[in-house]
Amino acid sequence: MAGKCSCKLACSKKTVRNLGTRRTVKKQWQAAWLLRAITCVDLTTLSGDDTFTNVSRLCFKAGHPVKEDILKALGMEDKGITCGAVCVYPNRVADCVKSLKAANVNVPIASVATGFPSGQMPLKTRLEEIRQAVQDGATEIDIVINRTYALNGNWKGVYDEVQAMREACGDAHLKTILATGELGSMVNVYKASLVCMMAGADFIKTSTGKEGVNAILPVALVMVRAIREYYQKTGYKVGFKPAGGIRSAKDACTWLMLMKEELGDEWLSPHLFRLGASALLLDIERQLFHYVYGKYAALHEIPMS
């Protein structure tokens, strides 16, 4: 089903190294890239102690990710800059709907489902979890693939499950989490990428954020080149979402560079690129504060959800 990788699974070390060191943006160009990164952030909370209160704060922050004085200084106060989405557990989706409405914020709601993060639940239960999240108001569903099937080479099993999940999503977008840190090889990462795209995924995503190894550039290079090859053969554009361990503004710029160089400018938008993160936004706002005021903000000067 998912033939050989024609994109060199060895991943050019030079490409990865250059992304993190030689390719940089400074001054006003960096500020522009960081504002673009904000629009691609899936602002996330996936904690066992999530409550309506912290979800409500998350939703407000997603709708107002940068202080008004900073946006005004950048001439961006009327551009409607928001995060790409908020991302929560299924049983917090209804809280998001209520909070976003109260804050008059229009931001997509993403929900992790299908027994996140392990996926070790019966398929019937996983599909019901998707349907419930969509019924409660989720417009995007982040599912986890069956790593047991992938590790055993049962790609038809992976395909069939993802296809069933695609159907359960209805009109909601489907993001498939490969959990690359648990797939064992780059070959499996490439095959899993193709299988998920063929099964109808709108996005492929690196990680749950709960594995030992999450979003790293060598694995991402395999995934985005699979996206490029799939687009060249089918004309269908699939999005990409790295998640887990992305915490600094510099990291965000590096991931944007990867998309620009490997897939082109069209993938530099929330329709085709997302960053799964919880702490990233704080550092981006700190860097924008520094650009505007020439100093780093104290913690109380940049409230975070």
Active site residue 72: no
Q: In what order do the strands lie in the sheet with 109-112?
A: 239-241, 203-205, 173-177, 140-144, 109-112, 85-88, 41-44, 275-277
Report how far apart the first and last C-alpha atoms of the chain are (Å, whole number): 44
Structural tokens at position 181: 């840190």
Active site residue 13: no
Active site residue 205: yes
Sign of CA dihedral 235, 242, 36, 20: negative
- At 213, which helix (H) or strand (E)? none
Structural tokens at position 230: 């799939």
Catalytic residue among 42, 61, 95, 142: 142
Backbone angles phi, psi at 43, to 5 degrees: -70, 120
Catalytic residue among 191, 241, 251, 283: 241
276 neighbors 42 (Cβ within 8 angstroms):
yes
Q: Using DSSP, state whether 88 is helix, strand or coil.
A: strand
Map tokens 């965000």 to a residue: 252
Catalytic residue among 175, 205, 251, 283: 205
Taking Cα atoms as reference points, which of 138, 137, 136, 156 lies closest to residue 146?
A: 156
Residue 190 burial (CB count, 10 A): 24
244 neighbors 209 (Cβ within 8 angstroms):
yes
Q: How many angstroms from the chain centroid is the CA of residue 29?
A: 23
111 neighbors 140 (Cβ within 8 angstroms):
yes
Structural tokens at position 297: 């903000």
Active site members: 142, 205, 241
